[in-house]
Structure 1
């Protein structure tokens, strides 16, 4: 829900003042946000490690040049530019070096390719006390409007008039707002037209100094048009800086395998943490209920007399393991949301997380086996060495094979491979059997792209886009600190002063309906565009939710149904060994015990009258799983489900 000035002021008055000491005006702390001076040896180390990332590991380097072209003021060729820095290194100060490398990395418009500044700079972030968003007017022309007020920062900006949610931005520091957007396309990290726009307007209201330089001025002057009165007014607001906070390092507790499956970005992850301090805007159009997973909230809304479920997934991080998070969602679908008529699954603003989680989530909605995302490397000797001569050789012979097949050739890329097999991607089975829509936007990124594209590629859900395309983060991301920690010399050396870099290492390739298309820059095109407007900003997106819900409810329902008579897990030592299901409009039911077909029943359940199918688990089977698959007369899958026993 979006905050007005009154609501924000009341919330602030009732909240704790604990955050007050974490923030200060940029003008008061600017001198503290300084990089330590680097020795020439440290400069050489940083530049060489950046060269390795850009030249030997960056999988999108060719695709970016093709998509954007080369321009001295826009996209630049990363490899040629890093060699220019190497040649000029003796003449560059520490500050100039960071600025040059930041520009090269940002010019690729890839949030997975990030140059992270040293400590203490990387621990600071500067914000304006409000957020902007892209809207469309009645003619379909793009606008920039105030979408939210950051309640905890309002006391720092009381000397001038503050905008209201919905007010239109006319100019920024004297320049028309669309010119400002254009100037920030290559510093905001946003890929494609949609993500470029929304990332550009984020870049002028917040700057995480881990990846963005400190603003040149201490404040900004913005001209607004009031949505309520139609008057124009100008206000000057200060940059407000978040001071470094004590951070617990959990790197030693991180699942190493998860580090290789990550698809997220440092900037968005940092912002999510800070945003939770700044206000209570959940991004949902109404009040939601918590779940056992802190990333998942849910609700049920009545729309035209029918019940529509809603799930908000903030990011693709897991509760320990992917199986745990999948089970939480499966239980939510089969219990609290069991009686709904349609489901809206919201991944707007989702910055990503684990690729395997995003891939495996699709099965909960798919009657057919859902295929996992495939990835490929750029063909370099370093990639070959990493997968054959270091600890990374233990992470799968299929990755070694695709690199070995092209090693020593002129092939630009390897063949594709996936993290998991189709069977592994479908171990849970289907949990929801009615119409489902995925609600995305241009900030849906990384594993958010994976999930959104995968529901399209597997044909299991309709995608409703707040923008026409998702954020287009099409790779798994690797951190330099992971390479230096687990591989080290002679390939990687620890960066000085707490620096970090990340790189797009393996390029995601789509399948099914979009076979061989890449996600990077292109993203996932929405099946139906449901744009932000002034009204949707004012009502927090409730109207857009109802538009999506009505479209889902208008779909012809799946006539074939299944109801499981036992819970997902059954203790057969304490109950019957017989599992049962009730089905309608189903010709055949296949039964699998631990992925081996054990029976095919010609149930002939025609019409809405249910028929019961039972399967008795053999006494010799101590634990395992039973999968039921419903088929029509042409043996096309209609539904499936898995029950575990022990």
Structure 2
């Protein structure tokens, strides 16, 4: 990684740059009922194969199995054995929807979005949808996006109306009941996902809706009760979805990524209009009664697909350069980071950003594998799992349920650049943050970077590295006796292969299901969901005003066998200066500009800022001729 390039980037203004296009969808003529009439071709032998592989990953690879059995009182392994037994006795297969329903019910019972069964074609490339979106604002459920061109003739549903009932059921109760059918590690996550899937769902991970049409009861903008009846419609993917695994460890909500792409297609141009887009970042300055602050929404942590490690490193370098540019261009009085609805992505892409916000050294979250013969086989033949091999071997003798824990991200890389933003920082989360976003939020909390504001009671609570069964098949393809088999007809299974643990004061605590509980709770208002979050920004501004303000800007000019270090400080009383890792000087400071001449030369200067003897800020600079 190139530290100089990041420092140079931070000295220039960020450039608008739209994110890469989301996967493309097309609308299928007809309704969901028409689509389902032609779906379903799995043979009895193919069903038995899928169940056999599902049982294998649950018993041998699933990192959370002991926790899930204890926390949710479930037994997915026994349910799979029973399903396997029934299939072995069948001569004529049951209806295919019944098979998918039972298998998805087993996967969903463990409340883990990483570990899932993706249905075969044609479901794998399809989504059921209604052309509007509903969001919760306090006790109200408000329509926030509408594709009017897809409403039925005479339909007049508009942004801002309040939905009261769904097929005759009060909307809040309908969302909660719907959420119980699906994964989600806590009540907040299940309710959020239940609400989302009322209107859009990717059929790879969700069964089609039971109803062929819905009746939505709502109060229009004039306060009058209205009803909309419309059938479920279907999208088909025209560009393949990104693979689950890859060379770099990923922690991602597969369903969340698909949902984001569906909404990007349905509601094109309906997103926030007062942000500047640079890759996965949306950023702006926001004015509040507490001051003017920077606001950065991180929409995901997936950096793309790569065919080489060099490509991934280049994408990671561009990622950190963009982040450094953005945060250093925004007001220094406070920064609002916002990861709501972020489905995760590459774990390193999340953990690498934490260092830019704190003087503390970042400790990446460690990860464990469950002790099993198959995981030992993987660790013995696959470089990605080799660090876990020794402890997995010892587990035969020690009886340890889990391997030793090792970080998935390089500690050197997540500390390669150091702190760039010295002002106060808050982080906004919701129940749709998942996986790498959970890991990012946990790191933010565990390193005491700032205040966490939640619009829900918890994050999505996904603490793992996810891989596909197809990735495991490839890992052991040349190993004699590998039990993995290709799945038929485009079906897929994903699994949480390594579980992550918290660090700092919460060291050793699993992130899975427990999530990251915010220290401040903000209930979204109607103005928040319709007008760009003004009330949420006010809450964030008040929290930022409670935190200390600091500034540490450093530049270095080489002289005759000396380095002249110029600095501009706030909230500090002493600076210690290191040159190429060795102490070179120290000076007491007052707010404002100052300088310190250091004897000798060097390549890299690190300034450490103190207040009352406590380290509170760091900055890095390279000598540049004045």
Residues 471 and 616 of structure 1, relative CA distance in 2, 3 Å threshold: farther
Note the C-alpha offset of 1:485.
Answer: 2.1
Task: Please state whether the residue corresponding to 1:81 is helix, strand or coil.
Answer: helix
Report the TM-score when normalising by structure 1. 0.84
Would the aligned equivalents of 1:57 and 1:382 in 2 still touch at CA under 8 Å? Answer: yes
Query: For this pair of structures, how many residues does the alignment match?
Result: 583
| 1:295 aligned onto 2:311 | no
Residues 345 and 177 of structure 1, relative CA distance in 2, 3 Å threshold: same
> Larger deviation: 513-522 or 440-449?
513-522
Would the aligned equivalents of 2:120 and 2:489 in 1 still touch at CA under 8 Å? Answer: yes
Note the C-alpha offset of 1:617.
Answer: 7.5
Of 241, 263, 279, 2:234 maps to 241
| 1:232 aligned onto 2:215 | no
The residue number in structure 2 matching 1:457 is: 446
Cα distance in 1, alignment partners of residues 271 and 592 from structure 2: 42
Of 75, 87, 91, 1:77 maps to 75
| 1:65 aligned onto 2:69 | yes
Note the C-alpha offset of 1:104.
Answer: 0.7
Residues 450 and 564 of structure 1, relative CA distance in 2, 3 Å threshold: same
Cα distance in 2, alignment partners of residues 250 and 184 from structure 1: 27
Would the aligned equivalents of 1:318 and 1:324 in 2 still touch at CA under 8 Å? Answer: no
The residue number in structure 2 matching 1:631 is: 610
Cα distance in 2, alignment partners of residues 416 and 340 from structure 1: 37
Instruction: Give unpaired runs (5+ residues) of structure 2.
Output: 1-23, 305-311
The residue number in structure 2 matching 1:37 is: 42
Alignment of 1:17-56 (within 5 A): 22-27=27-32, 29-31=34-36, 34-40=39-45, 42-56=46-60
| 1:116 aligned onto 2:131 | no
RMSD: 2.8
Task: Please state whether the residue corresponding to 2:588 is helix, strand or coil.
Answer: strand
Residues 471 and 577 of structure 1, relative CA distance in 2, 3 Å threshold: farther
The residue number in structure 1 matching 2:136 is: 134
| 1:196 aligned onto 2:190 | yes
The residue number in structure 2 matching 1:212 is: 206
Would the aligned equivalents of 2:289 and 2:538 in 1 still touch at CA under 8 Å? Answer: no
The residue number in structure 2 matching 1:146 is: 142
Note the C-alpha offset of 1:578.
Answer: 4.3
Of 533, 536, 541, 1:544 maps to 536
Cα distance in 1, alignment partners of residues 232 and 599 from structure 2: 67
Cα distance in 2, alignment partners of residues 162 and 53 from structure 1: 48
Task: Please state whether the residue corresponding to 1:184 is helix, strand or coil.
Answer: helix
The residue number in structure 2 matching 1:640 is: 618
Alignment of 1:415-434 (within 5 A): 415-434=404-423
Note the C-alpha offset of 1:222.
Answer: 2.1
Report the TM-score when normalising by structure 2. 0.86
Residues 347 and 84 of structure 1, relative CA distance in 2, 3 Å threshold: same
Task: Please state whether the residue corresponding to 1:580 is helix, strand or coil.
Answer: strand
The residue number in structure 2 matching 1:557 is: 549
The residue number in structure 1 matching 2:7 is: none
Note the C-alpha offset of 1:616.
Answer: 7.3
Q: Deviations over 1:49-89 (max 9, x none)?
A: 101111111111221232223xxxxxx42111111111111
Q: Deviations over 1:107-145 (max 9, x none)?
A: 2221111101112221110111112223324xxxxx4x1
The residue number in structure 1 matching 2:593 is: 610
Would the aligned equivalents of 1:147 and 1:166 in 2 still touch at CA under 8 Å? Answer: yes
Cα distance in 1, alignment partners of residues 386 and 53 from structure 2: 27
Of 335, 349, 352, 1:357 maps to 349
> Larger deviation: 357-366 or 485-494?
485-494
Cα distance in 2, alignment partners of residues 98 and 442 from structure 1: 27
